[in-house]
A = this chain, B = another copy of it.
Amino acid sequence: MNLNVLFKITYGLYVVGSNNGSKVNGFISNTVFQVTSEPPQFAVASHKNNYTTEIIREGKVFAISILRQDYHPDIIGTFGYRSGEEIEKFGNFKYMTGKTGAPILLTDTIGWLECEVINSFDLGTHILFIGNVVDGDIIDDSAEPLTYNYYHDVKKGKAPKNSPTYIDPQRLKAFPPKTS
């Protein structure tokens, strides 16, 4: 098996935020996808060790903030590599509180969605939360959304270890590039 193929799967990059009534927090996720059309439902995978996972479980809401391609690196640094147990992540940026109470990042965000959790599934290391979309809007129609592929290939960014798409670099060395 050639694990490099995992980099050919396309993802965006988002800040997923939640609020349990006493704490607001968020993390960087690429595993954000619409799973049904009627009604619109989204799935988000979150590592059981993520501080935000417990907040989503308790608050039963989450907001998805869609990052722009020309994001400021502090966004990834703060939401992807720091813990909400140590810092108030949203405190460093512009954000607003949605109708569900979930925090919506406004800095470097092109649009957002808010969801109410209606189900959650245990996938082993991660929980898959399923949410009904209750609100959403576009902030900037002219900007490109950041993709995981751009972050990986152009910005040379890595997935944090808690990401569903983290790959141990030691396992990637054996396969030279291919062309058909």
Residues of A within 8 A of B (CB): 1-6, 8-12, 31-41, 43, 45, 64, 66, 110-113, 119, 121, 123-126, 128, 130, 133-143, 145, 147-149, 163-167, 175, 177-180
Contacts and interface: CB of A to CB of B under 8 A. Distances in A.
B2 A38 contact: no
Number of copies: 2
Given A4-B138, A5-B136, A110-B8, A33 B36 contact: no
Contacts of A41: 123-124
A139 to B, nearest CB: 5
Nearest to A165: B34
A94 B149 CA distance: 27
